[in-house]
Amino acid sequence: MKVEVLGNTQDGGVPHLGCDCDLCKEVRNDPGRQMHVGSILLKENSDDDTVRYLIDATPDIRYQLRGKYIDGVFITHSELGHVTGLLYFGQEGPDATGLNVYGHDGVEKFLMQNDPYRFLVDRGNIEIHNLENNNGMELQGGEIKARYFEHSLLNHPTTAYIIEGDEKKLFYLADIDRWTDEIIELMEDADIAIVDGTFWSKEEIGRYEDVPHPTIQDAMVQFEDLDTDIYFIHMNHTNPVLLEGSEERKEMQERGFDIVERGDTFEI
């Protein structure tokens, strides 16, 4: 099984709406440098077919997915960057038939109570399946398991996905507000962890308390004794690690951490 990174930024992407920082202005003037919202793709070649499962359907899905066929979508929670892309599977897009969408009860409730997501269900574009906490399902060449964690900004949990292939285990938790002992234990049990790196520091934005996420600075201290290969995802447009050559990215890499970037692939 291969895990391909489709994007690495926070829900608002880069360029970020309403922002005139140097990075956003540069990317706006050079669309080829656009940074897509965080998402990964699980895929395995089986004879002549490629089995593909998406984790999170972002607003950038039109640019992220290549090819016409996808087997299912796993949703972590119902914020902007994680469900908006489902809308593109409707009649204005490919008019999908029975696309399998997996998530917890809170995701299902959100989709069923909010148009136009409910319209996708009514028309048969998507079928929602509940993936209960600590339960999983087999994929060709591996298994995926859901683990729920509290997120203070949500009225339902955020989901981590543990993806186990023939050779390695990958832990994915792109959006959380604090690290718990349970999360750290699951990361320690994995070979690869791709986790929330929204902010480098709490001083990045003037409203950090409104959108709390663990900072990369703090995470490096908490994870410094883990043997797991740790990568950050879901970076806000203000995060200096997005800038190649920045002192912050250099420090992060010198301490044994890195970010994921679009096109990165992990064989598990």
Q: Which CATH number fits domain 2-267: 3.60.15.10, 3.40.718.10, 1.20.1580.10, 3.40.50.300?
A: 3.60.15.10
pLDDT of 197 higher than 80: yes
For residue 202, count CB atoms less than 10 angstroms from its CB and return exposed for 0-12, middle for 13-18, buried for 19 or more. middle
- pLDDT for 237-263, tens place per residue? 999 999 999 999 999 999 999 999 999
**Among candidates 73, 109, 106, which has minimal Cα distance to 88?**
73
CA 236 to chain centre: 13
- pLDDT for 160-174, tens place per residue? 999 999 999 999 999
Mean pLDDT of 100-106: 96
β-bridge pairing 265-267 and 136-139: unpaired
Q: How far apart are CA 29 and CA 21, in angstroms?
A: 12
- pLDDT for 88-98, tens place per residue? 999 999 999 99
Kind plus residue range of the DSSP H or E element containing 7: strand 2-7
